Chain A
């Protein structure tokens, strides 16, 4: 049943990537800003988990393993604060400038996060605890890793909660209104700045949660950000610019590609081929696979 195990691993990886991609789209939709610090937010989530584990270990009697899932609220909170900082320092002051300015300021924020973490934790890979213990369980005749199942469950709960908020609440309606037409939303009395701050907080918290989920099996190093933003971006381009469902599907595709190629060759080759694939996709479809809505008019 190697195939089923690989598939489960791929779904778990895809679930984590989906959180990253959804966080990216949340910010994108609320602000049309491309947040280049998003990869570093994932890394920050991983290190938040590492730091919280260290802090909890001091409080608890020695020998007690801390399940990663109890860290989730703390990680969400810390990375949400990071998101507010990104919005306040790198986006809001220059929101009326050309988009390239925001690219550069968010890159600058990424540099600050990467090197801050590097200085505080060192460049070596660190691991976060498993969510609900390690090992495997038998499930429908398949030997499944507990961590993979826990990742999938956590991601499903988070994405489900987000879907509920966006679809069923007044706040969600405001979010969607801002995404569709920010000018009109503002004219209708929606406070754009508040929605912007919320989008950055939520989006970055989703990235942070993904950091916690990924940092057990794959470890976390301060310089991981560039690879992660690329994967989120690729997922969004594949799935359709601005579509949350598309981003999830794109994230799954990337994960299956990576796990599949890595299982028959090596991880670097899988990653390299992924980048080649992006360049090829953009060669055929310069606006992404489903295109981007055009707002320019002569």
Chain B
């Protein structure tokens, strides 16, 4: 599912919210009010968890730990030192965030199950500390005597005042979540979940994005923990237990991974279910497990997804798009090459994928990189874009040392690429995908935000399908969207990995026409392909790799006439060929 805002048919939700407010104010018993207060606390926790579990798509099992840290910071300070809410609450938020920042170094780089288990280890560690460090935490019994929330002379006494205060903070949390999740960032998160390989190509810094999500989840979790302790008036290891984590996960899955509505539905439902299912007694938690399992299998987007009636809410950009008006001139003195690579070597185990390759590209030049399968073509593309590292050699583009920069920094610097298998986020429309690349392009001289994106779409002749989701596009169009994405970053060098593969002749001709136009406005283009029917009329220069070595580089016709190329490429004379890694 793709998160999108609600536009119409809001009235059932407004009516529901109104009924809830009336119930809370006039009909709820003090016990009901306590349950509603807890719901508000969990809304805050779930809103935080949505950042990391929903948007970043990572299963964190540390949300309970952050909740517990917030709870213990407030609990210890308030019960032992009588510190007031005005100080303990920010400290709880800060404490949980600090913990997240510290563990982010070992934990955030981890993917998938490594991340889940590392965060579980963190939670178990904190639980052990809370139970065993009795002098500070009160051990298994915890610390009683936490005072109610008081600010100045005002006190949030149990019942309606506390309920309203907690929900007030929940609304603040919602506003923060909305502010953090502006459309461009939501799109960046979608790219990160859908196409992890292409994240650098969009100019997105995945580390920063994940860190933001993790810190926000921790801050919200810490805030919820602090409020929980004031509601319960006691802090105990239960606040750090796996039970809290499971409650949070269940609420998020049942309500929805994205959006305020999901958090509210999940929190309200899971806090009230025990009341509605009292008959189940101790088997209630078994039922929660069954519910969690069933939701993932049958309604993975949560209950909130049933309330979505809206279509795409995108407002079209008013700037009229002029195809090809952008100049892709590199920020270097004219006459100097856009790409300079010398003596590039790379070995994979026993295979020498690249062996002392020199290559240079100038502005406006289209160079075809040819060679049989396993010659090292894709390895070279990966080294240029920073996905792989060369063992030796120098490689620079317009002042940037590509051997040291991260893939994201290289993309933002203006070295764009497309992939052998197009890597596009299924959930985003063409326009959203291209705009995401433009929004994350950094300070490349050529980028003017959404206008550049619109232009890239026009240049690649995609205007008619700009609002179609990438996931529904046929292969030929996906290739063009990839080129548009690459252009959105305002590049001066474009590396295309087999752009013609799997395309019909007329589709190939369209791509060739687009590339010619781009080269005309100053873009340097490196096309990796072995389809000579596509390359021959397009490239001004050809370079030929064989078994990792550059065996020819020069004007197209000279290279094609070269004996070594004939031997390696057309197999006219069978040379002693070595196998390399697949291209």
> Which A residues are within 8 Å of any B CB, using their own CB?
34, 36, 89-90, 93-94, 97-101, 103-105, 107-112, 114-116, 118-119, 223, 226-227, 229-230, 233, 237, 268-269, 271-272, 275-276, 278-280, 282-283, 286-288, 296-298
Contact = CB atoms under 8 A, between A and B. Distances in A.
A295 to B, nearest CB: 12
B293 A230 contact: no
B482 to A, nearest CB: 12
B116 interface: yes
Contact of A112 (B129, B293, B423): B293
B504 interface: no
A276 B289 contact: no
Name which of B58, B103, B118, B282 has the most chain A CB atoms within 10 A of its CB. B118
- Nearest 8 Cβ contacts at the A-B interface: A111-B289, A283-B106, A112-B289, A115-B285, A108-B293, A108-B292, A119-B282, A34-B113
Contacts of B124: 226-227, 230, 271, 275
Contacts of B421: 297-298
B59 interface: yes
Given A279-B118, A298-B387, A298-B419, A115 B286 contact: yes
Q: Range of interface residues on chain B?
A: 35 or more
A119 B281 contact: yes
Name which of A98, A111, A271 has the most chain B CB atoms within 10 A of its CB. A111
A116 B106 contact: no
28 contacts: A34-B112, A34-B116, A36-B116, A94-B297, A101-B300, A103-B116, A104-B249, A104-B292, A105-B292, A105-B293, A105-B297, A108-B292, A108-B293, A111-B288, A112-B290, A114-B285, A115-B283, A116-B283, A119-B281, A119-B285, A226-B120, A230-B117, A233-B117, A237-B114, A275-B124, A278-B117, A279-B106, A279-B121
Interface in B117-146: 117-118, 120-122, 124-125, 128-129, 131-132
A104 B286 contact: no
Contacts of B229: none
Nearest to A223: B242
B199 to A, nearest CB: 12
A276 B283 CA distance: 35
A38 to B, nearest CB: 11
B296 interface: yes
B10 interface: no
B108 to A, nearest CB: 10
Contacts of B57: 98, 100
B378 interface: yes
Interface of B: 57-59, 103, 105-107, 109-114, 116-118, 120-122, 124-125, 128-129, 131-132, 196-197, 242, 246, 249, 253, 281-283, 285-286, 288-290, 292-293, 296-297, 300, 378, 382, 387, 419-421, 423, 497
Contacts of B117: 229-230, 233, 278
Contacts of B58: 100
B131 A268 contact: yes
Q: Chain B contact residues: over half helix, strand or loop, or mixed?
A: helix
B373 to A, nearest CB: 14
A111 B420 contact: no
Given A111-B292, A112-B293, A298-B419, A282 B300 contact: no
B289 A298 contact: no
A298 B381 CA distance: 10
Nearest to B127: A226
A272 B285 contact: no
A230 B120 contact: yes
A119 B283 CA distance: 6
B110 A282 contact: yes
B378 A298 contact: yes
Contact of A278 (B121, B286, B300): B121
A87 to B, nearest CB: 13
Nearest to A273: B125
A89 B297 CA distance: 9
B296 A119 contact: no
Given A104-B249, A118-B285, A287-B114, 17 more contacts: A103-B59, A104-B296, A105-B296, A108-B296, A226-B120, A229-B117, A230-B120, A233-B117, A237-B114, A268-B128, A269-B132, A272-B129, A278-B117, A279-B122, A286-B109, A296-B197, A298-B197
Given A94-B296, A283-B106, A272 B114 contact: no
Contacts of B103: 279
